[in-house]
């Protein structure tokens, strides 16, 4: 099956128009106030109404309270929760109580094999491997192919995962072919001067579709 693709950091009406034209699998809203891609609840609701109803929207949160996250979900602006801070297993459990049936994704900043081991044990529905908070840089992807102890073993990391950080339309084919992520998550890689670029979105979605 083709790798799925999420275009994140949607913040303008024209961004939604690009999403509707090129139809990625998911679109993401950033609810972290320190990001220039931050959107308010009202903005997210307006953008969601403009968007193709068949495209699920993901809300990205950094150390937000479960109650605030639940409010965003209940508003209809998002269908999926993506945690991008230092959220714990207890936080995930509380969200499951507040939001039964809502998918929860957890992002992990990868610096070492220990980070991958922690990610693999997460109770989140999906895990996302990244370099940091929207840095636009790759972590050391070779860690994904590292064998734990013996060379004949399978790679250390074998859980399906979402790959983010430093991805572009140009490097997606090579990254997908080598590391086989379940999904790719791209934001700065489809921007020009910090604005979503329709040609880059088109090429990124195409790269995922033909992988």
Map residue 184 onto helix, strand or coil. strand
Q: Which of 15, 25, 91, 130 is catalytic?
A: 130
Distance CA 66, CA 190 (A): 30
Total Cβ atoms within 10 A of residue 65: 11
Q: Which of 8, 25, 91, 185 is catalytic?
A: 8
Q: Are 64 and 94 in contact (CB under 8 A)?
A: no
Say whether 140 is catalytic: no
Largest CA-CA distance found in the chain, in angstroms, rounded? 53
CA dihedral 131, 132, 134, 139 (to 10 degrees): -10
Say whether 45 is catalytic: no
Active site residues: 8, 130
């Amino acid at each position: 099956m083709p790798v799925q693709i999420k275009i994140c950091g949607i913040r303008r009406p024209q961004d939604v128009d690009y999403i509707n034209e090129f139809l990625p699998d998911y679109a993401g809203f950033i609810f972290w106030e320190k990001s220039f891609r931050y959107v308010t609840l009202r903005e997210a609701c307006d953008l969601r109404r403009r968007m193709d109803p068949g495209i699920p929207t993901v809300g990205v949160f950094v150390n937000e309270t479960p109650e605030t996250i639940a409010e965003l979900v209940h508003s209809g602006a998002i269908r999926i929760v993506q945690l991008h801070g230092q959220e714990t297993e207890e936080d995930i459990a509380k969200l499951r109580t507040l939001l039964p049936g809502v998918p929860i994704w957890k992002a992990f900043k990868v610096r070492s094999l220990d980070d991958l081991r922690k990610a693999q044990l997460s109770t989140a529905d999906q895990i996302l491997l990244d370099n940091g908070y929207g840095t636009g840089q790759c972590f050391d992807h070779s860690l994904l192919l590292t064998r734990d102890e013996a060379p004949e073993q399978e790679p250390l990391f074998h859980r399906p995962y979402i790959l983010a950080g430093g991805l572009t339309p140009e490097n997606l084919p090579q990254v997908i072919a080598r590391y086989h992520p379940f999904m790719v998550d791209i934001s700065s890689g489809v921007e020009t001067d910090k604005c979503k670029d329709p040609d880059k979105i088109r090429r990124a979605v195409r790269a995922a579709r033909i992988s």
